[in-house]
Amino acid sequence: MRRYLVILTLIAVALLTTVAYHQFKPDWVIFRKGEGYFAKKEYSQAIPYYARLFKSGFYAPNLLSHLGTSYIVTGDFGKAMTIFESILNQTPDKLSALKELANIYIIFGRFKEGIILYQTFLKDQPNNTSVRILLARALTWSDRFEEAIVEYKKALGEEK
């Protein structure tokens, strides 16, 4: 009999803890739902959860980057650009946001802005070959062939 009482008490504590968490931390519950969809690569399902939290001012370390990535994957580049710009305004040293925003600028043909962001990224990580190649491509698309050649050579390790 005592064993059953202990088991029932543990079950009751678990249920009450869950209810209390939902009552006192509803934003975290919403965030975890969005994270669940994001983890399953169901990005269009994750967007409403993340967007709601973003609008309410909720903060979690991955909220904005996951929202921006979800927008990219679903093809909503305009909203993705806004999100990654927001990340940069909050934390200017955020390299992944810098690279993603540069990629979006390039997609929209805004080569000058994309090139500047790639160059900023490379100041911090000069040996990042993939970003150096992205920079070289953007320079090529901007008809800046000589600079592109220099960047390709740096990517190949032929020039420092």
Amino acid at 105: Y
Q: Which residues contact 140 (CB under 8 A, 6 or more apart)?
A: 148
CATH topology for 1-91? 1.25.40
Residue pLDDT, tens place only, 82-116: 888 888 877 655 788 888 889 888 888 889 999 99
Distance from the first to the final alpha carbon of the chain:
77
* Residue boundaries of the structural domains of the chain: 1-91, 108-160
Q: Which residues contact 118 (CB under 8 A, 6 or more apart)?
A: 99, 102, 131, 134, 135, 138
Hunting for tokens 């975290």 — which residue is that? Answer: 28
Amino acid at 147: E
Q: Which residues of 56-65 are buried (b: 16+ CB within 10 A; e: fewer)?
A: eeeeeeebbb
Residue pLDDT, tens place only, 122-146: 998 999 999 999 999 999 999 999 9
